[in-house]
Structure 1
Amino acid sequence: AGDGKDFGGTGGMFNTGTAGPLRLFQSQLSGQISWLLPFALLGAAGLLLGLRRKQSLTDKHKESIFWLAWLLPAMGFFSVAGFFHQYYLIMLAPPIAALTGAGWVELFNFNRNLDGWKKWLLPVGLIGTTAFEIYVLLPYKTQIGLGLPIAVGAVGIGVSLILCLPSNTRTSIRSAAAVGGILILLAAPLFWAATPLLYGGNSMLPEAGPQLISSGNSGMPGQMQGRRQNETQDGTQDETQNQPQDQPKTQAAGQSKENVDAKLLAYLTDNNTGEKYLFATTNAGTAEAYIIKTGKAVMAMGGFSGSDPILSVDKLKQMVANKEIKYFLSSSGGPGGGNSEVTAWIIKNGKEVPQAEWGTSIENPVGGMGMNGSSTLYIINP
């Protein structure tokens, strides 16, 4: 699924497609955010119809411009951005939702009032968005079958035809068709949004879609992407490719509670004398496992990935003096993460705890984020 051959797209880093004006409509991203984007854009056009240069802006016009001023720059950014994760697209959700809802009301009023050529905008929007949703759904027929695409297509086409009926058609029928049209457009994105709850997923870099059914939710994003790239165009798995070994379902590498070193945890707990932090470590990928396991505070001195210099030497000195922290667990990247000055200060002023005292009952307990390396525990007393 999502082989990226449509609209010139390729997987790209973190499966975000190829930069270009149609990037949000490529298979890699369309199922993450773009379901209602065609209808939202047409709805925005309908909301701004009749706007004249010298005419005072109404509240409707102002609000429509506000949402467009949010949506269009964000679309432009993600169309050309070189690095981002799929879940960043959530920032497009509010303007798409607002313009879809307000636009539907405006286009429905055009259709109900038989307002000249404008009455055709609602059926055009429904049938166009229906076609786009079928395009998004079909590559996943192996995982979800053809029931949902057929239902979306049948209802979408049916209600659009009803809205094209002659002017003597009862208003109640038009109203029911318009409501049915917008509801069927919500069916597929509702299912997509539910897939992480139904099938699990990567909580570090979340995504949605039926690929979670067959992906096995393997470890890190690169592993999941590699698995997806080994799928054939019809969504089936290419068994000739080497597949990464599956991690436990719904857990990303470095995030599982089983990645906690029991012997290390026991040592740190027994020797805690009231410090706020159980210990400090290189990155959030290591710290979070101990936080989840114990509910206690653990400091990630290098931020999310270990490369962010979030802590100064002076601040660390103050924290040690205030008895907020005394243990520092390092990996091969150094105990200070992205700050070499912090690393040097810890090594100079800290005392290395003999590994025999705290041991390691799992391989590389401080690796997090898939990094490998030896581990060292330092203690600094005030």
Structure 2
Amino acid sequence: MSQDLGTPVTSAPPRGAAPPARTPKKKTKTGLSALAAKRIAVLSALVAGVAYGWGIGGNAAHYAYAAAVRSMSANWHNFLYGAYDPAGFMSVDKAPGALWLQALSVRVFGYETWALLLPGVIAGAVSVYVLFVLVRRWAGHAPAALAAVLLAATPITIAGTRVNLPDSTLILTLLVATYAFWRALEKASPRWLLLTAALVGVGFHIKLAMALAILPVLGIVYLVAAPASPGRRVLHLLGAGAVTAAVSSIWMLIVGLTPAGSRPYMDGSTSNSVWQMVWSYNLFDRADAAKAGKSAELPVLPDGKVTPVDQGGETGVFRLFNDLIGGQISWLLPLAVLLLVVGLVAAGRAPRTDKTRAGWLLWGGWLVLFAGALSFSQSIHPYYTSILAPAIAAIAAAGLHLAWTDRRFTWALPVGLLATGAWAFVLMNRSSDYVPWLRPVVAIAAVAAAVLVLVRRTGKFAVVTGAVAGVALLAGPVAWAAPTFQPPTDPRTAMFQNFNPLAGPNPNALSTGIDLTKLMAGGPKPGAAGGQAMPLPPPIMFQMMPSDADPKLLGFLKANKRGERFDLATVGGTGASPYIRAGLSVMPMGGFVGTMPMPTAGGLADAVHSGQLRYVLFGGFAYDSPTALARKDWVVRNCVRIPPPAYTANPWMGFTSALFDCKPGA
């Protein structure tokens, strides 16, 4: 495919000669000029930025990351080690790369929700333009502009970017790394390849192994298509691998070489090991159910049942199309798969170094690799699928352009449009009461566009055909993204949405597809404020995830603080988060989900007897474990339970929590 390589340098015309005739701006076979394509891409990025950032000041930030950012912005020690709490007792259970950006934003703008979300919003908007630049170098201006539009309109991209999650930052990092890779591929440049390797290493600090997953794709494409001898290609890749390994290891080495007593305990580890947190807890335990529990104590549930690990639905090739995930990412997935095959066939027996075929291999590899990982991992959050959006957008855009301009593959346009319209109808029919009129509109648009591309694809009708096809392709995804801008009014469901953001018409759905409002409607009911408290241990399904700090408890703790290191200890990170965000120093016992063996019952006793801690709060979402049960037993036997009316006026808080005073002699 042709590319606009700019205006060649020529010698100056002789004096007195007539000025050269103005050369019209180059257009693609679709009639779209390079300037028009660039304007579309810039506009798409700007619209995406506005959409991603619209009203984010009123959002409820991800409760765990928001707490960690508050702690990390307090001092550089917490910043470096990714401390979850202000005292640096426990780290987050991930690498802190994305949180570093959020903490820096907070240090500049103050601890505001919009400041927490700003880095991710910027990353999401910039990604749209970077994808345009990438596709332009591969397939030309028109498909590049279309790819930018498709990425910006992906429902889960919009929903996920409006929360302070690491995914939008990771996607931008990988796109920039892919740009460097493409420059390396064009001339077998080792410098560009080393830059690619370093950027992937940076991505590792943002989301660990998910960043490294792109390496096999880049390696295969470079081996296949780089214009260099086999020996040089292998040598280049070996050097790049060494750079990625070195950059990826920097933070782990710093943590690993720091004495355990001089840094936070590594959440996601049973042995305070950063290596176990990274490789076991965040990779192997998630991918293989048989390995689950190696990096955390196995939960002990009151009903004796197995820990639920069904987030994202059942594993298998159809997971990306199920009721929960389908509406988030799969609108154009069948189209992308079809056009990927078309693109590879069109490349045919091109020379080994052909860049058109290399592009199909690159984006096809991205799509297949991440789709496979997400389909067969034991448990995933739906927003993980946003990593597929750039590849789907690039493949769909380039494939549509290929089928439009190459008569050999004209058949792919009506087939692809009809398949996309049919699948959109199925997805929208799953929520039949949501904008019901849109289903027939999309179906009619798909059929009309399929007919138009066969009979009238040139002249003035090309614009009409494109517009009708645009409705068939984008109306469904845009409609599914719309509810994202109306967060739930219930604070519990709002917090779940920011913990597991979902696009679509049911803002109350959890990552397991359960409607929280229906779940809570069937649960136990509290009595009057300060009435009968829930017995210990409480049934796990009805523990509350507190979305905000209880104001009466805040006042109680501040009034009774006597210089302790910790104002409060809680069960897990859920209970700690609102109080850390409110400015208290909280010990999150057991880490994020309460199953880490830190502190032990003996360690908790030492903290109490040394005057570091007085109050312990049970409540919030956390799993029991052997160590957690031992801690709970120690508290019940050695501390005095405070009547709920003394620390809360909230019926739910009084019903689902238990506050203990562990001061000796209390």
Q: Tell me the residue number matched to 2:616.
A: 329
Matching residue of 1:155? 445
Are 1:300 and 2:300 an aligned pair?
no
- Greater shift, 201-210 or 311-320, is seen at 311-320
Aligned to 2:547: 256
In the TM superposition, what whole-angstrom CA distance separates every residue of 1:342-363 from its partner, at most 9, and x where no partner exists? 9769969xx8477369944246
Q: Which residue of 1 aligns with 2:502?
A: 207
Aligned partner of 2:555 among 263, 266, 275: 266
Distance 1:275-1:95 versus aligned 2 partners, 3 A rule: farther
The 1:98/1:345 distance shift into structure 2, 3 A limit, reads same
Describe the shift of the 1:84–1:164 C-alpha distance in structure 2 as closer, same or farther (beyond 3 A).
Answer: same
Distance 1:353 1:19 in 2: 47
Q: 1:132 matched to which residue of 2?
A: 423
Contact 1:71 1:92 in 2 (8 A): yes
SS in 1 for 2:433: helix
- Count of residues in Structure 1 that have an aligned counterpart in Structure 2: 330
Which residue matches 1:194? 482
- CA distance in structure 1 between the aligned counterparts of 2:563 and 2:392, rounded to whole angstroms: 49
Q: CA deviation at 1:128?
A: 1.2
Given candidates 358, 371, 394, the residue that maps to 1:98 is 394
Q: How does 1:18-29 map to 2 (within 5 A)?
A: 18-29=314-325
Partner residue, 1:164: 454
Answering whether residue 598 of structure 2 is matched by residue 287 of structure 1, we say: no
Whole-angstrom CA distance in 1 between matches of 2:606 and 2:466 = 64
After alignment, is 60-69 or 120-129 more displaced?
A: 60-69
Task: Pick closer, same or farther for the CA change 1:74–1:276 going to 2, 3 Å.
Answer: farther
1:178, CA displacement in angstroms?
2.9
More displaced stretch, 60-69 vs 131-140: 60-69
Distance 1:329 1:318, change over 3 A: closer
Instruction: State the partner residue of 1:36.
Output: 332
- TM-score (ref. length: structure 2): 0.41
Matched-pair identity in %: 25
Counterparts of 1:151 and 1:19, CA distance in 2: 33
Bigger helix fraction: 2
Q: Indicate the residue corresponding to 1:244 in structure 2.
A: 522
Residue 186 of structure 1 and its aligned partner are, at CA, apart by: 1.4
Q: Secondary structure at the match of 2:515?
A: helix
**Unmatched 5+ residue regions in structure 2?**
1-307, 526-542
Q: Secondary structure at 2:431's aligned position in 1?
A: helix
Q: How many Å apart are 1:165 and its aligned residue?
A: 0.9
Distance 1:314 1:100, change over 3 A: farther
Partner of 2:383: 87
Which residue does the alignment assign to 2:660? Answer: 376
Structure 1's 94 and 277: CA in aligned 2 closer, same or farther, altered over 3 A? farther
Q: Which position in structure 2 is the counterpart of 1:355?
A: 642
Q: CA deviation at 1:222?
A: 7.6
Is the partner of 1:144 in helix, strand or coil? Answer: coil
| Gap change, CA 1:141 and 1:13, over 3 Å in 2 | farther
Query: In 2 relative to 1, CA 287–170 (structure 1 residues): closer, same or farther, beyond 3 Å?
Result: same
Q: Pick closer, same or farther for the CA change 1:357–1:25 going to 2, 3 Å.
A: closer
Structure 1 residue runs of 5 or longer lacking an equivalent are 1-11, 229-241
State the one-letter code of the partner of 1:132. Answer: W
1:338 shift after superposition: 5.9
Match of 2:432 among 132, 137, 141: 141
